[in-house]
Structures are given as structure tokens and as C-alpha cells.
């Protein structure tokens, strides 16, 4: 859902920015007009769905391979070593900051 909202926001932003650029006063005699058509929207949708599937499969694969019984056997502090930052922790921090 987050990727679909992001894709929709990107296409809406592109539509707004193209509208602003099309109204921009031109110093030259010729005016170039740009607009979004169905092909752009379709490509945006396909790229958004592709990214959603690609980045959604990694956590889903890890969850599928994990064993709830093994997780319950270990204490919460066993998995995390103090002083060591995993890549997923760094990415989570960046995502929260954004």
C-alpha cells in the first residue's frame, strides 16, 4: 500500500509540475508543451507494482523461513549483540528519518 501511495503521489506531482512548466513564460518564439498520457500512467503503475513486489518479497521470505518455536526459545537479547548494527537496523533508521 505504501508503494502504491508513493507511485500515485509521484504521478500527481509530475502532473502538477508539468502544468507549471507548460504555463512558464517562454522567451523563445516556440513553445514546447508536455503532458502525461496513458502510457506514462501504465508504466508508472508497472514500476510501482514491480518495486512493491521486489521489496516486499525479501521480508516475506525471511518471515516464511523463520520458525516461531525457535524465536520463542531464545531470549530477546541473544539475537542482538551489543555494539553491532545490522544493515536492516540502519535502513530502518533512515526510513524513519525520511
User: What are the per-10-residue average pLDDT scores of the chain (98 residues)?
Assistant: 87 89 71 81 91 84 76 60 72 86
pLDDT value for 60:
80
Q: Are 13 and 36 in contact (CB under 8 A)?
A: no
pLDDT value for 16:
92
Domain extent for 84: 2-97
pLDDT value for 20:
85
What distance, in Å, lies between the first and last C-alpha atoms of the chain?
17
Q: Are 11 and 43 in contact (CB under 8 A)?
A: no
Query: CA 93, CA 17: separation in Å to the nearest integer?
Result: 30
Instruction: Report the domain count for the chain.
Output: 1
Radius of gyration of the chain (CA): 22
Query: CA 21, CA 23: separation in Å to the nearest integer?
Result: 5
Amino acid at each position: 500500500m505504501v508503494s502504491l501511495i508513493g507511485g500515485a503521489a509521484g504521478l500527481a506531482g509530475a502532473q502538477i509540475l508539468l502544468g507549471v512548466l507548460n504555463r512558464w513564460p517562454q522567451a523563445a518564439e516556440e513553445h514546447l508543451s508536455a503532458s502525461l498520457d496513458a502510457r506514462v500512467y501504465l508504466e508508472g503503475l508497472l514500476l510501482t507494482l514491480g518495486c512493491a513486489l521486489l521489496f516486499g518479497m525479501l521480508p516475506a521470505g525471511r518471515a516464511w523461513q523463520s520458525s516461531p518455536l525457535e524465536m520463542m526459545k531464545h531470549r530477546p537479547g541473544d539475537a542482538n549483540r551489543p555494539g553491532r548494527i545490522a544493515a536492516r537496523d540502519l535502513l530502518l533508521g533512515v526510513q524513519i528519518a525520511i
